[in-house]
């Protein structure tokens, strides 16, 4: 099976991030604007600090009766475990399923944030790989392989 490198090669290395001192409301506006469910929280140097998700908002702001305009992202962000570009798809699935994470930050060897992998990225990769294998098995069985 493939690695995170293969996923990022297909989807790109775009990372949407916010600073920890912005309000949850401002973070939510960016989530809506970008049509995404997760933002990476970074300091002024770009160092990864945690993630801010729609789920964090629902569970740690709305359901607690807090104000999204008065609550800072730093108060509700979650430090997700990270993966590297060399991490396998199985490692991603394990990390995601163990804690229920839907997004994993991708770090390079120096600890720099270089991408984000979502559960839908992983599922799409697995489905595409399965289709590829089935097509080639069908070709092999029918004798049309090269």
Q: What is the dihedral of CA 55, 41, 71, 33, to 10 degrees?
A: -70
At a CB cut-off of 8 Å and minimum separation 6, what does 39 contact? 16, 17, 18, 27, 30, 31, 51, 52, 53, 73
Q: What is the pLDDT of residues 49-100, one digit of tens each?
A: 999 999 999 999 999 999 999 999 999 999 888 999 999 999 999 999 998 8
- Where residue 106 sits, what CATH number does that domain have? 3.10.580.10
The DSSP code for 111 is S
Q: Can you give the pTM of this predicted structure? A: 0.84
Q: Structural domain tally of the chain?
A: 1
Q: Could you tell me how many residues make up the chain?
A: 146
Residue 82 near residue 88, CB atoms below 8 Å: no
Q: Which domain holds residue 45?
A: 4-142
């Amino acid at each position: 099976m493939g690695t995170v490198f293969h996923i990022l090669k297909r989807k790109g290395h775009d990372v949407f991030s916010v600073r920890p001192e912005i309000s949850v409301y401002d973070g939510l506006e960016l989530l809506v604007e970008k049509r995404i469910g997760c933002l990476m929280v970074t300091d002024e140097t770009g160092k990864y600090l945690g993630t801010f998700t729609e789920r964090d908002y629902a569970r740690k702001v709305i359901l607690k009766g807090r104000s999204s305009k008065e609550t800072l992202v730093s108060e509700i962000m979650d430090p997700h475990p990270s993966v590297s570009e060399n991490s396998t798809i199985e490692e991603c699935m394990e990390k995601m399923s163990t804690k229920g994470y839907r997004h994993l930050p991708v770090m390079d060897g120096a600890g720099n944030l270089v991408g984000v992998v979502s559960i839908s990225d992983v599922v799409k990769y697995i489905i595409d790989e399965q289709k590829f294998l089935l097509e080639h098995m069908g070709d092999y069985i029918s004798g049309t392989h090269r």
